[in-house]
Amino acid sequence: MTEALKSSHQDEIRFHEERLQDLRLQYDRLTKRIELIYEDKLDGKISEDLWNRKTEEYRQELARLESSTRQHTKGNLDYVQSGARVLELAKNAYRHYEEVPALEKRLILNIVLSNCTLKDGKVDYTYKKPFNFIAEGSFRQEWWAIRDSNTGPHPYQR
């Protein structure tokens, strides 16, 4: 899971860098337009009214681009912190589940699972996102095989 998170984080970094570059280009293009429209105003090519309207329009767009830039910069940091928290919770989830009373177990299962049905004496369920990715990854990498000395199947395996 850690490797998958690192790989995913590299994709996330690449996405944010590409988006930031695009935002910078748009910002530079608008700044240039403001300069050109000002020159057109000084040269008498456009009216004061048109200059005011276009300048306000461009400044609003610049503010939107600045806001998007801040969000992308912050989003990259949040991604790493959120991923680390999810991994820490996932690592301790089973032990925590075993320690809580039945009512809390039910609440946990309501958060993690959906479409629970009883079929031929067996419970059938679907993991909710993002728990489906964690569960699929854990079974694929056979994490539970080294969990403890119990050689039986993991209780969450179907």
Would you state the pLDDT for residue 147? 46
- Which residues, in sequence order, are CB contacts of 124 under 8 Å at separation 6+? 115, 116, 117, 118, 158
130 cis-preceded (ω within 30 degrees of 0): yes
Same domain? For 85 and 60 the reply is yes
Degrees (nearest 5) of the Cα angle 124, 135, 132?
A: 75
The answer to whether the beta carbons of residues 30 and 65 sit under 8 Å apart is yes
Q: Which of 46, 134, 129 is nearest to 89 (CA)?
A: 134
pTM comes to 0.48
Same domain? For 17 and 29 the reply is yes
126 lies in which domain range?
101-158
Q: What is the mean pLDDT of each run of 10 residues along the chain (158 residues)?
A: 64 83 95 95 94 95 92 68 71 82 84 84 82 65 46 46
Q: How far apart are CA 95 and CA 155, in angstroms?
A: 12
Same domain? For 88 and 152 the reply is no
Same domain? For 17 and 51 the reply is yes
Q: Which of 67, 82, 88, 91 is nearest to 19 (CA)?
A: 67
Strand (E) or helix (H) holding 2: helix 2-42
In the chain, how many domains are there? 2
Same domain? For 93 and 114 the reply is no
